[in-house]
Amino acid sequence: MTNAEDQPTAELTILQLLAGTVLDANQNITFQIFDILRDLIVSVRLRPGQRLSEKEIAAALCTSKTPVREAMIRLDEIKLVRIVPQSGTYVTKISVSRYRTACFIRLQLELGAVRGAALTPDPHQSIAVLDGILSQTAKAIAQEDDAAFCTLDDAFHRQLFIMAGFKDAWSTARRTQFDVNRVRHIRRMQRIITGPAQLADHQAIVDAIRAQDGARAEDALRAHIGDLDRQISALVRDDKMRGFIALEDSI
Amino acid sequence: MTNAEDQPTAELTILQLLAGTVLDANQNITFQIFDILRDLIVSVRLRPGQRLSEKEIAAALCTSKTPVREAMIRLDEIKLVRIVPQSGTYVTKISVSRYRTACFIRLQLELGAVRGAALTPDPHQSIAVLDGILSQTAKAIAQEDDAAFCTLDDAFHRQLFIMAGFKDAWSTARRTQFDVNRVRHIRRMQRIITGPAQLADHQAIVDAIRAQDGARAEDALRAHIGDLDRQISALVRDDKMRGFIALEDSI
DNA sequence: ATATTAGTTCTAGCATACAAGTATCCCAGT
DNA sequence: ACTGGGATACTTGTATGCTAGAACTAATAT
């Protein structure tokens, strides 16, 4: 583990982050804890590499270790934490190899989605939905509303999968994309604005789908995703990511 | 739950399946149990819909409920079992919607793989590996060696991803493919032989890669996978699958 | 014969206690 | 100053007991 001083921003203790959180005793405790921790990790409020203590979390949430541990097991299973026997439980670092794999998976699935969307038999209504999302996105960018932008970005991609007839494919594959989301969150925290460029890319994709031109839609998507290897080396070189990433998926 | 009498074949109790299994006390008990149960479920020796008792399994393996439960939680997380509060833990039925989604994911990722494989700069050695796998596959088919056939099929697909430079993509995505594997196992148990056809398809893919013709490789792969919707309706209609499948992913 | 309801028996959820391994710190020796 | 080793204080892994709720059974009322 690196020192807190080495990190770009101050490391918040889990205790600070959970302060004031109360659980609903009538709902399943394990899943409440799971949701809380997953959100904290994906939004990088819990830092990659940070150590988590089952006991400490249990105390902060006024519960016993068992549900905390069971939530940790689920988080370990989706590789958001790594439980190291007799040592501790750590928030996983962002794995470059996992990130690269996730980008490949994302690209391939979205290629299928835009291809399918371009073949939608009666596309008018579906395309109207896409147009609506894009115009709302433009508003969100103008108002610098990050949260809305993210939601709309998500809605855009989901709509493509719906049009292709594979509504569930994206929600299934999202489980492989946590590291991509963490990188995005870090970029966004550092006010790295890519909104306008993304909007233009999305517009090009919609135009191709409107023209029912699957090949052009695929090309537009490839352009949108960009060159993976260059993106990877930029990620590895990025000083702001230092301490957050690991080449392989250790810790 | 349906009656055991309704099922195509006799339902083996978990106790029968675990008879004689002893765990290594020096290794992590939870993961040993996880591996055992995962294999039993994917190979359909534990039947879709079958109820599992934490207590019973713990007794059969001479351990306590805790590691069994933790293994169950991991299995629940990858949707091989479903833990129903205060009711029981059940082997999930094969979900038609999950199966369909898995086929889409599989196709899209393999499209990327064969496309990438066709672009391998110095392909001679890699293609020699593919040729070797195919000739071994032919032997396995001649000898009706199911286990070897499966292993080689897996090796073939893995080699494609290696050639495309995305070695980990397949192992990552396999977590979405359990239902596909279960369907295969059921078909194989019923001696539904598709080996020769698969071998010919694989040969066509290799030929296209050898010619560095990415488009033709994609076409060969699409032909290999076939028409998804027809496959789905065949699956739903198949009497041998009755009781094993569910339209949505309930239970 | 059927519907309903009370009672019993099962389940998973959670709390707690203990066991076993790991990392750290302190101190002795070089 | 630095290295080596051992005690100590942590960590997760496992065992067990208890509770609340679901499901099944069987008896009762209609």
- pLDDT tens-place string over residues B173-219: 889 999 999 998 888 887 677 788 889 999 999 999 999 999 999 99
Q: What is the largest CA-CA distance in chain A?
A: 59
Question: Beta-carbon neighbour count of residue B221 at 10 Å?
Answer: 21
Instruction: Summarize the confidence of residues A52-63 as an average pLDDT.
Output: 91
Contact of B204 with B156, CB cutoff 8 Å: no
Sorted by sequence, the CB contacts under 8 Å of residue B107 that are 6+ apart come out as A112, B221, B222, B225, B228
Contact of A3 with A42, CB cutoff 8 Å: no
Q: What is the pLDDT of residue B5?
A: 38
- Chain A CA closest to residue B172: A176
Q: Report the amino acid identity of residue A204.
A: A
Q: What is the pLDDT of residue A5?
A: 38
Rounded distance between C-alpha atoms, residue A103 and residue A82, angstroms: 22
Rounded distance between C-alpha atoms, residue A165 and residue B181, angstroms: 23
Residue among B141, B249, B147, B112 at smallest CA distance from B203 = B141
Rounded distance between C-alpha atoms, residue B54 and residue B64, angstroms: 9
- Per DSSP, the residues of A32-84 read HHHHHHHHHHHTTSSPTT-EE-HHHHHHHTTS-HHHHHHHHHHHHHTTSEEEE
pLDDT-above-70 percentage for chain B: 93
CATH fold of A4-92 reads Arc Repressor Mutant, subunit A (1.10.10)
More confident residue, B111 or B125: B111
What pairs with residue A75 in β-bridges?
A: none
Whether A10 shows a pLDDT value over 60: the answer reads no
- Residues of chain B with C-beta less than 8 angstroms from the C-beta of A228: none
Distances (CA, A) of A147 to A137, A180, A185, A230, A241: 11, 17, 11, 27, 22
- Residues of chain A with C-beta less than 8 angstroms from the C-beta of B102: 172
- Residues of chain A with C-beta less than 8 angstroms from the C-beta of B74: 73-74, 77
> Mean pLDDT, chain A, as a whole number?
88
Instruction: Summarize the confidence of residues A215-243 as an average pLDDT.
Output: 89
Q: What is the pLDDT of residue A3?
A: 39
Q: Out of A172-181, A239-248, B55-64, B178-187, which region has the weakest mean confidence (pLDDT)?
A: A239-248
- pLDDT tens-place string over residues B53-110: 999 999 999 999 999 999 999 999 999 999 999 899 999 999 999 999 999 999 999 9
Q: State whether the beta carbon of B56 lies below 7 angstroms from any atom of strand C.
A: yes
Q: Where are the domains of chain A?
A: 4-92, 96-228
B20 touches chain A (CB under 8 A): no
A119 touches chain B (CB under 8 A): no
Instruction: Summarize the confidence of residues A119-128 as an average pLDDT.
Output: 86
Instruction: Summarize the confidence of residues B219-229 as an average pLDDT.
Output: 90
Q: What is the pLDDT of residue A38?
A: 95
Query: What's the gap in Å between the CA of A177 and the closest CA on chain B?
Result: 11
Round to a whole number and report the distance in Å from the CA of B70 to the C1' of D9: 27
CATH fold of A96-228 reads Four Helix Bundle (Hemerythrin (Met), subunit A) (1.20.120)
- Residues of chain B with C-beta less than 8 angstroms from the C-beta of A173: 105, 176
Q: Which of A77, A107, A168 sits opposite B77 (nearest CB)?
A: A77
Q: State whether the beta carbon of B35 lies below 7 angstroms from any atom of strand D.
A: no
CB-contacted nucleotides of strand C (7 Å): 10-17, 20-24
Q: What is the pLDDT of residue A16?
A: 80
Round to a whole number and report the distance in Å from the CA of B246 to the C1' of D29: 39
Sorted by sequence, the CB contacts under 8 Å of residue A73 that are 6+ apart come out as A83, B70, B73, B74, B77
CATH fold of B95-228 reads Four Helix Bundle (Hemerythrin (Met), subunit A) (1.20.120)
Q: State whether the beta carbon of B192 lies below 7 angstroms from any atom of strand D.
A: no
Round to a whole number and report the distance in Å from the CA of B187 to the C1' of D20: 43
Q: State whether the beta carbon of B222 lies below 7 angstroms from any atom of strand C.
A: no
Q: What is the pLDDT of residue B94?
A: 93
Q: What is the pLDDT of residue B146?
A: 83
- Beta-sheet strands, E only, within chain B: 51-52, 81-84, 88-91, 94-95, 245-246
Q: What is the pLDDT of residue A11?
A: 63
- Which residue carries 């400490």 as its tokens? A56
- Chain B CA closest to residue A106: B109
Whether A150 shows a pLDDT value over 90: the answer reads no
